[in-house]
Amino acid sequence: MQPDLSLVIEEPIAGHYYWMVVRPGGWLRLGPCQVVDAGSGPLPSYQAAQAAGNRVLASFQPVVERPTPSGFGGAWDIMTIPGALT
């Protein structure tokens, strides 16, 4: 099972935003966090730091491949023709 990861945005100096991907630690996640990845420098806005951090956070998340639906045809494709119910 993949451990939970969180994105943290900090502003230690006004106008300097840093992102960190952290793994909460300890019992009930109250212990110190482990930094998994962090930005190399400050970004000019909260939104820019959030976008950069979300891109990195998404790379750590597993890709879930959904099974092909059962039944005739299996899935919609270019040859699917809508029918009229009467």
The pTM score is 0.64
- The sheet that has 31-38: what strands, in order across it? 6-13, 16-25, 31-38
The Cβ-side half-sphere exposure at 29, using a 13 Å CA radius, reads: 7
DSSP string, 70-82: PSSSSS--TT---
Bridge partner residues of 29 (DSSP): none
- Confirm if 42 and 16 have CB atoms less than 8 A apart: yes
Closest CA to 58 of 9, 19, 10, 21: 21
Question: Residue 60's pLDDT is what?
Answer: 86
pLDDT, one tens digit for every residue, the chain (86 residues): 456 888 999 999 999 999 999 988 766 667 788 899 999 999 999 999 999 999 999 888 877 777 666 555 555 666 666 666 66
**Residue 76 in tokens:** 């919609």
Q: Where are the domains of the chain?
A: 6-60
**Residue 3 in tokens:** 């451990």
